[in-house]
Amino acid sequence: MPEHPPTPPVHGHPAGADRSTLRLALTVGGLVLAVLLGFGLGRANPGPTTPSGTGAAAAIGDHTHAPGTGAHDHGAGTDQAADSGAGGFSVTSAGYTLTPSTAEFGVGRAGEFRFQVRDERRRPVTRFAVVHDKPMHLIVVRRDLTGYQHLHPTMAADGTWSVPLTLAQPGVWRAYADFAVVADDGRQTAVTLGVDLVAPGGYTPRPLPAAATTTTVDGFTVGYEGSPEVGRALPLRFRVSAGGAPAALERYLGAYGHLVALREGDLGYLHVHPVATQAGDTVTFWVTAPGPGRYRMYLDFQVAGVVRTAEFTVTVP
């Protein structure tokens, strides 16, 4: 068969130049497509972060609030139980790990609890946001929900936190570190980590007190109205009185009250802050129960410069 002569180049350009142009066009097109896909995925999967600063609403985990203001809880996180917004179940969450220097304390003996928060590369974290006047809130309670303590450790330059701690009774205690990490770009990530501490000795758990809406502490009568429900944000209104007259509540950590709730059994943790109100004897919290069960609620309030804690048992059906 006769041979066909080679096809002449179009518009006088060599055939090799056409192939080079095609390769360049394909390469550029692929890069543009990758950038567009990456942008779309980034928009579709935002991280659990919030811009720094106060006053502007910002997302932390799966809830939104203005840092340091209004009612919100610190329970939600990547360590939360499947049914709940409770937290504090794990020493590791959201890429951060709680590493205590010791987990054993002598019963009734004053000691010091020291720990670090480390990132995914096991580097000590040293940048924390000040939330409700403190960069670190530490809650300690025995596993039968007695002996509640709300402490505020101080941090050394190397990222080691320390706080005086006494475990008054033998048993296993739970410590919750509640904080917000500040990234290099100013974004904040709220985290709650939990670890067990031990006070050796014979452990006799105390039964949880019966559910009640009123209690007394140091001559103050504290009561509340409202009933928490699973999956619904409902108000709980606390009132403090002394001698039948309303007590003059003072600001403590930037608010007129702080409420921590722990679930019996798994010790799921909720740290709820009140609606911003003027000074008075009533403090309102919007609370969402993460699941059914019995809870112990701890209300911190301050009068005449002294902080006291009122405790309640509540059953959520």
Given this model, what pLDDT does residue 82 score?
34
Question: Which of the listed residues 154, 169, 199 is the one where a domain comes to its end?
Answer: 199
Angle of CA points 233, 235, 237, to nearest 5°:
160
Question: Which of the listed residues 175, 199, 223 is the one where a domain comes to its end?
Answer: 199
d(CA 172, CA 163): 19
d(CA 100, CA 79): 18
What SS3 class is residue 39? helix
169 and 122 assigned to the same domain: yes
163 and 97 assigned to the same domain: yes
Given this model, what pLDDT does residue 278 score?
67
Please report whether residue 115 resides in a domain.
Answer: yes
Question: Which of the listed residues 147, 168, 199 is the one where a domain comes to its end?
Answer: 199
- pLDDT tens for the chain, residues 1 to 317: 444 444 444 344 444 444 444 343 434 344 333 333 333 333 333 333 333 333 322 222 223 233 333 333 444 443 433 334 789 999 999 999 999 999 999 999 999 999 999 999 999 999 999 998 999 999 999 999 999 999 999 999 999 999 999 999 999 999 999 999 999 899 999 999 999 999 999 999 999 999 999 999 999 999 999 999 999 999 999 999 999 999 999 999 889 999 999 999 999 999 887 887 766 678 999 999 999 999 999 999 999 999 999 999 999 99
Which amino acid does the sequence have at 46? Answer: P
Q: Report the CATH number that the domain containing residue 102 is assigned in CATH.
A: 2.60.40.10
Given this model, what pLDDT does residue 51 score?
34
What is the distance, to the nearest Å, from the Cα of residue 274 to the centroid of all Cα atoms in its chain?
16
What SS3 class is residue 132? coil
d(CA 50, CA 180): 10
d(CA 216, CA 191): 32
What is the domain extent for residue 297?
Answer: 214-316
142 and 226 assigned to the same domain: no
Pairing of β 258-263 and β 293-303: antiparallel
Please report whether residue 36 resides in a domain.
Answer: no
Please report whether residue 292 resides in a domain.
Answer: yes
193 and 94 assigned to the same domain: yes
Given this model, what pLDDT does residue 305 score?
97
Please report whether residue 55 resides in a domain.
Answer: no
- Residue 92 CB burial class (10 angstroms; 0-12, 13-18, ≥19): middle
- Residue 315 CB burial class (10 angstroms; 0-12, 13-18, ≥19): middle
Number of domains forming the structure of the chain: 2
